Amino acid sequence: MMRTVPIRQPLADARGSVASVACLAEPRASASGLRTGRAVLLFLASMAGAGAATVAADSTRGERLFTSLSCVECHSVNGVGGNIGPDLGRRIDRNFTVASLASTMWNHAPTMWAAMRERDIRIADMDEQGAADLFAYFYSARFFDKPGDAGRGKRLFTERACALCHGLAESIKPGINPVGQWNALTDPIALTEAMWNHSPNMFTEFKLKKIPWPALSGQDLSDLLVYLRNLPSTRGTAGMFETAAGSNGEAIFQSKGCVRCHHSGSSLAPQIKGRTLTEIAAEMWDHAPKMKAQPAHFNPGEMRELLSYLWARQFFEDSGDAGHGKRVFAAKHCEACHGDSSTGAPKLTGSAFSGITMVSALWHHGPRMLEQMKSKGVRWPRFDRREMSDLIAYLNSPGRGK
Ligand code: HEC
Ligand code: HEC
Ligand code: HEC
Ligand code: HEC
């Protein structure tokens, strides 16, 4: 049985020009003590430009919508729910983005609506907030790190040489805090920050004793944490997995000297594509010994800013090609209605299009669009993920629609 960890409510942080943020909560015990679900709060924004509106998406609300919009009658998420449609938890992979949700929903909508009509299920309205919340729910069902294994964590504590300097309840070396006094047990990022800051101590000691660098994977970090948080001396430590706004990330990336070896945060995106935050944290740890100079010291919270920033770059920057999107817009017949005011289709202007708006527009206007398309003999469009991103980039491109 997995042990559930009490958890503070993740706090929304809506300051500044947020690119995207997520608060990821670890296993959360409900009042009934039965649930081991995870709450996710994502801040989604189109990366299109400054001033883009940010939507705070909450997986708990999304879970409720999944029921109130009747999705649950036909779909299950990880085994719970109906089986007329596919299990959505299983379909969603780690590269799941808002644009990919939008493209699958568009592709399947006519069949889905027919199934709904057959069963007399009303297509209830879904606004942008609803679409964002649903996304957060699907995301939480799939994207999380595997839960930690305390037994493995216990072995790692010795095998990775932590036990060489740290006691559990009592200090075993003068001046070195035992685990019971650590402040860094809230989540993997805080732990990574503390470990990173003391890497110089470790270099020296390890060199002396000829111990290899104690590399850790994301799973190792989770296992270590579950073990350390549930010792007699630490039990009750609040667990919390939160990402920061990431808005200072670029500045930290500069000031910590990452730019000495990496061009920019975005340049790392392909290398860390599809990784969870914990995995990126573990990678940071693993390459501490590769830093030629002394690794920079991180003040409290800076590691979180930096990693959130890197993670958001690779995860949400789903930048499409506006030129190709223009061709998609024509080839899928969008232009035929939306470029001709006599059809009554609104001119799609503005710069706030995202996967989220495409999902809500589909749910909101789709049935009427489908009728019009049928009467004009236009086939319902299908998109792959790339085409959806390109289309969004085109709709957002400056000067279009003027
Ligand atoms: C009456 C049954 C029904 C309801 C209600 C329903 N769906 Fe579906 N859904 C389907 C069917 C059937 C398919 C597969 C359609 C196809 O194969 O083209 C589908 C496909 C999908 C897909 C694509 C899955 C994939 O990866 O292939 C998504 C995403 C989806 N639905 C989301 C939703 C959401 C969100 C809701 C609630 C707002 C919802 N559905 C409500 C029946 C339903
Ligand atoms: C060579 C000795 C040594 C080893 C090995 C070592 N540490 Fe430490 N650790 C220290 C020292 C010294 C400090 C405190 C001084 C500092 O922060 O630089 C410290 C501090 C910490 C802190 C911050 C504690 C606080 O008070 O909040 C954490 C967390 C930590 N270590 C985790 C680990 C983990 C996890 C491992 C195993 C991967 C490990 N350490 C291995 C020497 C070591
Ligand atoms: C002295 C050069 C150097 C500096 C400084 C440096 N890195 Fe790296 N980094 C590397 C190398 C080399 C790799 C290639 C992967 C490897 O072999 O570990 C890498 C890889 C990475 C990766 C991807 C890991 C992967 O699996 O490909 C991340 C993330 C990363 N670095 C982040 C950072 C951050 C954040 C900083 C600043 C705190 C930083 N790096 C500073 C040399 C550096
Ligand atoms: C047959 C005509 C027709 C075609 C083809 C068509 N649409 Fe529409 N679209 C409409 C109509 C009509 C509305 C407004 C529906 C309503 O108000 O309920 C609409 C609404 C929308 C909206 C919501 C706009 C808003 O202001 O909220 C979006 C987004 C959209 N369409 C995108 C597309 C895309 C992308 C394509 C191509 C894949 C497309 N449409 C193809 C007729 C069409």
pLDDT higher than threshold 70 for residue 308: yes
Residues whose CB is less than 8 angstroms from the CB of residue 105 and which lie 6 or more positions away in sequence, other chains included: 359, 362, 363
Nearest Cα to Cα of residue 347 among 336, 358, 338: 338
Distances (CA, A) of 352 to 45, 48, 202, 366: 9, 8, 48, 19
Q: Are residues 203 and 292 in the same domain?
A: yes
pLDDT band at 345 (very low <50, low <70, confident <90, very high): confident
For helices 355-375 and 385-396, angle between their N-to-C axes, nearest 10 degrees: 100
Does some domain include residue 203? yes
Side chain identity at residue 389, one-letter code: S
3-state secondary structure of 35: coil
3-state secondary structure of 239: strand
pLDDT higher than threshold 60 for residue 16: no
Proportion of the chain in helix, strand, coil states, percent, rounded to 5: 50, 5, 45
Residue nearest (by alpha carbon) to ligand 4 atom 22: 361
Q: Which of 294, 316, 338 is the last residue of a domain?
A: 316
Distance in Å, CA 107 to ligand 1 centroid: 10
- Reading the block at residue 262, the tokens are 């990496």
Nearest Cα to Cα of residue 253 among 242, 238, 266, 264: 264
- Reading the block at residue 144, the tokens are 């999380």
Look at residue 158 in the predicted model and tell me its pLDDT.
96
Q: Are residues 218 and 343 in the same domain?
A: no
Mean pLDDT of 273-284: 80
Does some domain include residue 23? no
pLDDT higher than threshold 60 for residue 46: no
Tell me how crowded residue 120 is: count the other CB atoms within 10 A of its CB. 6
Nearest Cα to Cα of residue 90 among 108, 75, 102: 75
Q: Are residues 215 and 311 in the same domain?
A: yes
Q: Is the CB of 369 under 6 A from ligand 4?
A: yes
Look at residue 319 in the predicted model and tell me its pLDDT.
66
Candidate from 267, 278, 287, 297 with most ligand 3 atoms within 8 A of CB, to mutate: 287
Of 20-29, 103-112, 219-228, 379-388, the poorest mean pLDDT is in 20-29
Mean pLDDT of 50-73: 74
What is the pLDDT of the chain when averaged over all its residues? 77
Find the distance separating the first CA and the last CA of the chain, reported in whole Å.
Answer: 59
Higher model confidence: residue 62 or residue 35? 62
pLDDT higher than threshold 80 for residue 400: no
Residue-wise pLDDT for 151-195, tens only, equals 999 999 999 999 999 999 999 999 999 999 998 887 788 899 999
Higher model confidence: residue 85 or residue 244? 85
DSSP state of 341: G
Distance in Å, CA 373 to ligand 4 centroid: 10
Look at residue 236 in the predicted model and tell me its pLDDT.
63
Q: Are residues 311 and 217 in the same domain?
A: yes
Mean pLDDT of 354-383: 89
Look at residue 67 in the predicted model and tell me its pLDDT.
92
Please count the CA atoms within 13 angstroms of the CA of 4 that sit on its side-chain side: 16
Side chain identity at residue 116, one-letter code: M
CA dist., res. 4 & res. 257, Å (int): 38
Q: Are residues 384 and 290 in the same domain?
A: no
3-state secondary structure of 189: helix
Phi and psi angles of residue 307, each rounded to the nearest 5 degrees, phi first: -70, -35
The domain containing residue 191 runs over which residues? 150-235+249-255+277-316
Does some domain include residue 344? yes
Look at residue 146 in the predicted model and tell me its pLDDT.
55
Residue nearest (by alpha carbon) to ligand 2 atom 39: 162
Give the count of domains, the chain.
2
Look at residue 292 in the predicted model and tell me its pLDDT.
63
Distance in Å, CA 348 to ligand 2 centroid: 56
Cβ proximity of 135 and 98 under 8 Å: yes
Does some domain include residue 213? yes
Look at residue 230 in the predicted model and tell me its pLDDT.
86
Beta strand pairing status for 54-58 and 40-45?
antiparallel
Q: Is the CB of 88 under 6 A from ligand 1?
A: yes
Does some domain include residue 387? yes
Q: Are residues 298 and 327 in the same domain?
A: no
Q: Are residues 310 and 336 in the same domain?
A: no
Does some domain include residue 72? no
pLDDT higher than threshold 90 for residue 219: no
Q: Are residues 231 and 329 in the same domain?
A: no
Look at residue 265 in the predicted model and tell me its pLDDT.
77
Cβ proximity of 26 and 239 under 8 Å: yes
pLDDT higher than threshold 50 for residue 286: yes
Q: Are residues 167 and 216 in the same domain?
A: yes
Angle, alpha carbons 93-94-97 (nearest 5°): 85
Distance in Å, CA 223 to ligand 2 centroid: 17
DSSP state of 164: G
Q: Are residues 326 and 301 in the same domain?
A: no
Q: Are residues 305 and 381 in the same domain?
A: no
Kind plus residue range of the DSSP H or E element containing 23: strand 21-24
Side chain identity at residue 137, one-letter code: Y
Does some domain include residue 103? no
Q: Are residues 160 and 208 in the same domain?
A: yes
Question: Residues 64, 69, 70, 76: what is their CA dihedral angle, to the nearest 10 degrees?
Answer: -50
Cβ proximity of 348 and 401 under 8 Å: yes
Q: Is the CB of 359 under 6 A from ligand 1?
A: no
Higher model confidence: residue 94 or residue 105? 105
Nearest Cα to Cα of residue 53 among 20, 82, 76: 20
Does some domain include residue 164? yes
Higher model confidence: residue 150 or residue 58? 150
